[in-house]
Amino acid sequence: MADEEEFVKLLLTGQPEPPKYFAMMKKVNKIGPAYVNEEEVPALSTRDHFAYIQDGIIVMDHERTIVEMNPAAKRLTGWQLGEKVPYCSFCQQRKVKEGEERCYLIATEEVPYFVSEMPTDHGQWIDVEMSTELILEQDKAKYYLLVLRDQTAKKKEEEARRSKWMVKKLTEAKEQEHKRLAQELHDGVGQSLYSISIALDNIIQRVQDEKLHIYVKEVREELGRVMEDVKL
């Protein structure tokens, strides 16, 4: 026992003091971490959840007056509480019968959502995917939940994809045109070279002068190499 104590003492001599959190780690490893009491965790209210949603959320009455909206809806549209929700471009232009609801989503329950342009207080029209749902009927009043999802980024991505596709098709068309012109040039040159080769063959057969015969033959051989280069 004494030898063991001496050994431990010798081993620890000159060693720095261990960090204070080592003691806490030892305790945690032995008994486990402390759990937070559920009662101590603050519960998020409905309004808190409402504020964190990234889509624009608006509660409006049957006269389209805004009675509640989340920050995302304010940023997206610039509308304020008490203002009336304007109709989208589609609903503004669509033909309605007398007494018929102009809002297409409210009038047609079969359509869960659709994409249209919505005017904003920023002086712009934005592409949004929208949906509505009747959430409360009280006396003669009706309250609707209007959800707006900004489609601007998606539209830009689609435009970029379409532009990239058009550039690709234009490049392919140019390449095809270059190939066609090259083939036409190749065919035209080939016909000319072939005609010249036939003419030289005829000349070689008729030339009596030996030097001229050798010269024409060399020209014919050079022409043959040219024809081979252009793969005729």
Q: Is 155 part of a structural domain of the chain?
A: no
Residues 144 and 55 in one domain: yes
Can you name the residues that pair with 86 across neighbouring β-strands? none
Residues 17 and 88 in one domain: no
Residues 68 and 144 in one domain: yes
Residues 9 and 64 in one domain: no
Q: Is 156 part of a structural domain of the chain?
A: no
Q: What sign does the dihedral 40-43-44-45 (CA atoms) show? A: negative
Amino acid found at 145: L
Q: Which of the four pLDDT bands, split at 50, 70 and 90, describes residue 200?
A: confident
Structure tokens at 215: 């010269």
Q: Is 40 part of a structural domain of the chain?
A: no
Residues 53 and 102 in one domain: yes
Tell me the pLDDT tens digit for each residue of 22-55: 566 666 667 766 655 555 556 656 667 677 888 8
- Taking the complete model, does pTM exceed 0.75, yes or no? no
Number of domains observed in the structure of the chain: 3
Three-class SS state of 173: helix
Residues 7 and 59 in one domain: no
Give the separation between CA 106 and CA 123, rounded to whole angstroms: 25
Give the separation between CA 15 and CA 22, rounded to whole angstroms: 15
Residues 89 and 145 in one domain: yes
Mean pLDDT in residue range 194-222: 83
Mean pLDDT in residue range 55-62: 91
Structure tokens at 75: 């940023």
Residue 101 belongs to what domain range?
Answer: 46-150
Q: Is 78 part of a structural domain of the chain?
A: yes
Length of the chain (residues): 232
Residues 108 and 198 in one domain: no
Q: Is 130 part of a structural domain of the chain?
A: yes
Residues 114 and 179 in one domain: no
Mean pLDDT in residue range 160-167: 83
Three-class SS state of 91: helix
Q: Is 87 part of a structural domain of the chain?
A: yes
